[in-house]
Every structure is written in structure tokens, then in C-alpha cells.
Structure 1
Amino acid sequence: MTLRRLISAVAGFISAALCLVVTATPGQAALCVAPFPITVSSVTTTLLSPYDPFSGTDATLGVTITLSNSLISLGCDVSISFTRLAGLPAVMSQGANSLQYTIESPGGATLLQTTGFVQGSSPAPANRIDAVVPLLGSVSVNVIIRVPAGQLVAAGNYSDLQVTLLVVSRGVLLSNTPRAIIAQQAFVPSISVVSKCVLPAPSSSTLDFTSAISHGVPNPAIVKSTQFTNVQCTAPSILRLSGSAMQPVLATPPKTGFDNSINWRANGTFGNASSSLNTSIASQADSGSKNVGSGATSNGNINVDVNLLSGNPIISGNYSGVLKVTIDPNL
């Protein structure tokens, strides 16, 4: 390693600078010294596509950070890291709600640290990406923002205002440690959480009302029930019941004094939401309120009771119908 004096003409004037250079293979980097010629010329958007906690896969976004070198000399050894003085694990927030995330290298190493810059030690090799910015050129570094799957939080927009993008110079050869801060700027990961519910299968998907037919006449006193457990929503939802009268499985001609369809009533509850459907007057009924006032629902229950409506004797045969239970925050 030698020390030499560089005289350069830049923008019509003469300037002198001292620079340590390595007399090795072409393209090898040098120790950056103040005033630093390295700038963060661009950072792609950190807005993630909507997060679906029920998708089963992590939400990820590749972010490209470009560093530029305006110096007419050799390149500079630099490192990129992210400081979060508020602590780890990192979270994006919406009011009192929080969503964990990480910032990673393409190889999966975490680039978030809480120490910031400490000459000679931080950011540590495990929490940074090293790069060389060539003379009068630029280098692009790719990082990944990852939001792990399965975090049930309230729908809405989340962001983290506690993160700083940190670029430091490094020593060369055997002293590959942080030397000085080159640049630092705010870095704001953001994401929106979708409004969505997940409805598991009911405890019973078939309600048999054979015992509710007495002497050919429907008996309204017999009630059949089913339940949905572990219902999850990211936002308040209404409860919708829909269906129509049971019809003969095989075509049955009408007969005077007899019914060839069976009407029924269904009553459903989902938290603060309740709905009642009478198929003799409607095919759909929505709750007048939502299951909760705000926020997400975890391990919720939907209870549905069904009974036949009284009527004329029915024509003998097999009858069937479908009751549809719907929850959706977007309704």
C-alpha cells in the first residue's frame, strides 16, 4: 500500500486530495476518507402488497438500494445495515396493533441491529451487506423485507417509523471493520392488511329433520343446531344467512291439501351479530350489526339453530335444501 498525491481537474478548477490506494489488481477498493464521495442515490419503494394472514406464506418485497461514487479515484469499501434503536423484533404499527417483520440479505441474514454505528465493531458482519462502490460509478444492493405468515392482526395500514438506513465505510485488507458513517436516512417499511375472514367447516354439515315430521306434518318444536368454531377475521363482519325452502329430491306433482316443499327458519349468532332467516318470506337475511365494534376476531364461534315451519301435510318423499352461512367484512 502506498501514499500518493492526486491532482485532478474537476468542473473547471484544480483540487488536491490525499488517498490511500492499493497497488494490486485493477478494481480493488480503497479506504474511503472524508469528505465522503458516496451518496445514496435511490431506494425503491418500501410499500408491500397487501398482507393476508391466512395465505400460509410470508409476504416479501425486494428493495434495491443504489450507492453512487462521485470521486475520480479508486472505489470505496462500504457496508449497508439498518438501525432500529426502539429494539427488536421489529414491528410495523397501527395504533395499538403491531405486525412483526424483518429486513434480510438475499441469503436470509438479518440486517436489523439496535446498536447503530460503533467504530471498529458495529454494524457487525452478521448484520450488514458489504459492497464496493467503483470510481465515478454506482453499485446496487438488494435487501428483502419479510413479514412472516400467520399473524392475525386488525386490517388497515401499518408502518415502522423507527428504522434508519445506515451506510458506513470499512477498513481494507485485515481491518475489515466499520470506520465512519457515510450516510444515514429514514427507511419506512409499510404494508396494508386485508379485510378478510376464515370460516372453518361446521360441527355438522347435515341436519336431518326426519324426526321433525309427525303424521306428515312439520313440527316446529324440533330444533337442530350446528356450530362453527375457531372463526377468524381481520375486521368486524356481519353474519349473512341465505337459502330457500326444501324441495323434493325427485319431482313430485302437486296434490290438493298437501305441500310439496318445506319452509324453515334459521337463527344465527356471531358475537354481537345475529341474523334470522324465514324461507317463507325471504331468501337472505343479514345481521343488523357486526360481530365486534373494531379489531380482529380470533377463535370466534358462530351458532346456528334451524327448525321447520308449520304447514300442511307434505307429500311423502325425500326433501333437501341448503343453508348458506356467510361472513365477510367487506359486505
Structure 2
Amino acid sequence: MKLKKAYELGISLLALLWIASVFWPHKDEAIQTTPEQLVLRIQADWKNLRSKNLVHGVIAISQKGKIIFSDGELDKAYPIGSMSKSFTGKLFEQKFQQGQLKPSDRVCQWIPSFCHGMLAQITLEQMLTHRSGLPRDLHIWSGVSRSWNQSTLSDIASEPVDESVLRSAPGTKFLYSNYGFILLSRILEIVDSRSYANQIAGIAQIAGLQDASVINASSLISRQLLVPFIGDGMSLKMVSGVAYSYGAGAVQTSARDLIQWLKIYQTSDRKDYGWIQSKEQSYRAYWHNGAYVGLYSLMAVLPEHDLQIVILTDNFKFEEFWNKQVTQFQNYFY
């Protein structure tokens, strides 16, 4: 048991370092284009990476109900990381339509540790839109600690919290927070009386998704070790601490499922619960990405053009240039 916990701790530490290497070394800049050119440029970028053996995974682009470009296994389930937040947002929307939750509800109705100071002002909507003032996580090593302690959502929601963790007053500023979505997962469990995993299974069935589920702590996740410009190295199956990110990042599903998910999202009443909206493009796009050690994912939808884009990768990327090459797709959606 001690050896297993030490292994999971090592994987969690590696995950933190890898995510930092993906998102922090380079400055993200919007690549501006037209909707028509967007499809062609993403195809060209993907083919270029594939020709250099810098990426392993799947891409799917669908428009007006038809897949117009794809490469890779469309029905293989991949961990989607932070794109899981769109599923958590949809579960909230479902509870709102059923009259069980309201955007203006205060978090402290379900999480007693939030019933003091400025924490008592935080609403569900503020957490859903990353405007709660909460940090990315409660502490820098929280993810590692949860993996080591095999923390349940109930455990996480019971952790003592002081208003000093707030990075800004609730409702005043956009601050991306995984911690907020983990707490939302727990609130959904309390309201629904079912586990977060069972709720995801339920909404997947309603949406017609065949491969969507929540990763559990014993799941073995494959990553590919590529040799650039030469060929595949080896495939590694590893236990992952991503299971303990719950509604912030623990969903896995396939590219085909995500195309269907994006089509459903186009008709959603709220398009900001677990999503990011483009600000610097000529087109209106809603998107999100996700990352974990050896994994990178992105999905985007342009509602006015009935255009859906999904990219799921599962290969290690060891240096900044390589990381930047793979994450360049998100620059089309800033």
C-alpha cells in the first residue's frame, strides 16, 4: 500500500511539472483567421505535427452534421482534463431546470466552511464562471495531497478554509479555479444524492454519449512515448491522480462523443458554465482545453457556423518547443 501511494504521489508531482511546462513557458497569442480558413489551418497544423511524429491521438472536425476531417480513433476514450468542467456546468444547468439549484445560491448552504467572511458571499454562478475569487487550487500541493490521501469529495469539502485564500473579492474578477469546480461536484452530490460519477453516467445516457465516464483511482491510462521524426517509442499504462480532480478534470470520453456534446451545447441556454468564449476573433467561439501528464485536449464550437472541433492527444512532450507546437491550436480561439 505504501509503495502504491508513493507511486501515485510521484505521478501527481510529475503532473504538476508537466502542466507547468505546457502552459507557463510561452506566451499565448491569438491567431486571427476566418471560419473558413480556420478549418484548413487546423488540418494543416495537425498534418504537420503528425508528419514530424510530434503528436499521437485523434482529431475530428464536424460541420452541419457531417465529419469533414478526422484522423485517429474516433471511438477511443481519452481523459479530457479541464474540459470536464463543461459536464459539471451541464449538470448544474440540469439541476437549475429542475428547480433544485439557482445561480444565486450561496455556496455556504452546502459547504459549512464557507459560511464566514467574504467566503459567505460566493455564489454558485461565480464558481461556474470563475469569478468567485478562489485560487486555481486551495494550496499548491492540494492535488498531490488528495492523491496521497485518496480524498473523497466529502473529504475535500470538509477541509478548513479561510477567506485569506481569496485572490479577489467574489464577483469582481475572472480567476480560473479548479478548486471551485471540485466543490461544485460535491454540491451536486448533496443535492442529487448520487455520486458525481453516477450523475455523469446519467447525463451521458441522455446526451447519447457512448464512451463518457469518470476516471477512477485504479484506472490505467495509456500514454505514448514518441521519438520525433522517427516513430513510436513505447506505450505506457499508468495509474493517474487525475481521478481526484472530480468535476474539474476527471471525465474521459471519445472524440465522437465530444462532437455530439458540442452539438448539444450549441442549443444550451447558458454558454459560460465551464466554457471560455473567444474575445479576439472575428467569429464567436466557445472552447476549453485540458492537460495532465502526457495528455492534452481541446474542443471548440462555432455556433453560427455549426462547426465543432475536437483534439485529444496522449503523448509525452518534453520541451518547450514541442509543447508550444501541440498547444498552438488553442491560439485560434482566444
TM-score w.r.t. the length of structure 1 is 0.20
More strand by share: 1
Instruction: Give 1 or 2 for the bigger CA radius of gyration.
Output: 1
Q: Which has the higher contact order (CA 8 A, sep 6+)?
A: 2
Q: Pick the structure with more helix per residue.
A: 2
Q: TM-score, normalised by structure 2?
A: 0.20
